Structure 1
Amino acid sequence: MNEIALQPETQDIVVDEVFPHSPETIWKTLTSGALMSRWMMVPTGFEPVEGNRFTFQTTAAGEWDGVIHCKVLEIRANERFVYAWKGGHEGNSDYGSRLDTVVTWTLSKVEGGTRLRLVHSGFVTPRNDTAFKNMSQGWTKVLSKIGAVTDEQS
């Protein structure tokens, strides 16, 4: 077998929306821990600094304690925010299976506002199929919450 054949199949979640706000306003909503807690989950230890590690707490399952371990991988103010998103446990087969993914937020100025594109990449099939399905729906809701929180900041 060649190396490509040994690589697992992965899926990415992509959600894209245009908001009637400047990139700077959307950026503040994305990178403020206090605001982040309103559109996603309360982050513990979050700072928008490359290399910073932080966590989110969600519902535990099986051998997984529900902690999502994140690390800021890239910060380009008002343009790009990337972090690792790891959680789950090898002992879980559905909800709470081991997850090692990357979340990328890209902001682009467009006429009338900002295009916000989320790519949550690296869901390994079939192991992460449950997470992929649940989070595909969840991220769509998160973007609408980001819009509502940003509206309040304007």
Structure 2
Amino acid sequence: MNDVALKSGTQEIVVEEVLPHAPETIWKALTTGELINRWLRMPLIGFEAVEGRHFTFQTTPAGMWDGVIHCQVLEAKPNERLAYAWKGGHEGNAGYGSRLDTVVTWTLFKVDSGTRLRLVHSGFVLPRNDVAFTNMGAGWKRVVPSIGDVVAEQVSSKKLH
């Protein structure tokens, strides 16, 4: 974990969804570059589910920020937990594109009906990250269910099992 995510006074986004697929199948969707691109809809460069691995996402630039989100895998326990640092923004920006130093954690729990997928995006410093917290809170609520849609498409075409 990074220091910001552990500080009191920070906020987190939590989204949970039960998906009708095995944890191994959901894990593939969380750790396969092509599938991540489909459910997150941001270009991904250099991802591998290996602790210490650095990778980036590209989103819309703003002000002095180039739109690159710098990430590093903090934990990768296959079929159970994936955590990565999520850093972006610029000190010179206010609102969208302000400095962001957070952690995204995916936890998979086997349940009778498939997998309970829990996302926690932690470390939002308010008020500095108000815009990111609001926008990403709404965004993650759309993204998490779309992982199930991507998996269902893959399963039906027999690309995942």
Q: TM-score range by the shorter chain?
A: over 0.9
Q: Shift in Å at residue 56 of structure 1?
A: 0.5
Q: With structure 2 as the length reference, what TM-score do the two structures score? A: 0.90
CA displacement, residues 44-80 of structure 1 (integer Å, 9 cap, x when unaligned): 0111111000000000001000000000000000000
> Where does residue 137 of structure 1 map in the other structure?
138
Structure 1 residue matching 2:24: 3-state secondary structure: helix
Return the offset for 1:42: 2.1
Deviates more, 1:74-83 or 1:140-149: 140-149
Equivalent residue, structure 1, for 2:77 = 76
The 1:52–1:117 alpha-carbon spacing in structure 2 relative to 1, beyond 3 Å, is same
Aligned Cα RMSD in Å?
A: 0.9
What residue number does 1:3 align with?
A: none
**How far did residue 153 of structure 1 move?**
2.0
Unaligned runs of 5+ in 1: 1-6
How do 1:12-91 residues align onto structure 2 when only pairs under 5 Å count?
12-40=12-40, 41-91=42-92
Identity of aligned residues (%): 69
Q: Provide runs of 4+ in structure 1 moved above 2 Å.
A: none
Q: How does 1:85-100 map to 2 (within 5 A)?
A: 85-100=86-101
Residue deviations 1:103-128 (CA, integer Å, cap 9, x gap): 00000001110000000000001000
Q: Any unmatched runs of 5+ in structure 2?
A: 1-6, 156-161
| SS of equivalent residue, structure 1 residue 27 | helix
The TM-score normalised by the length of structure 1 is 0.94
Give the Cα–Cα distance (whole angstroms) in 2 for the partners of residues 85 and 111 of structure 1.
32
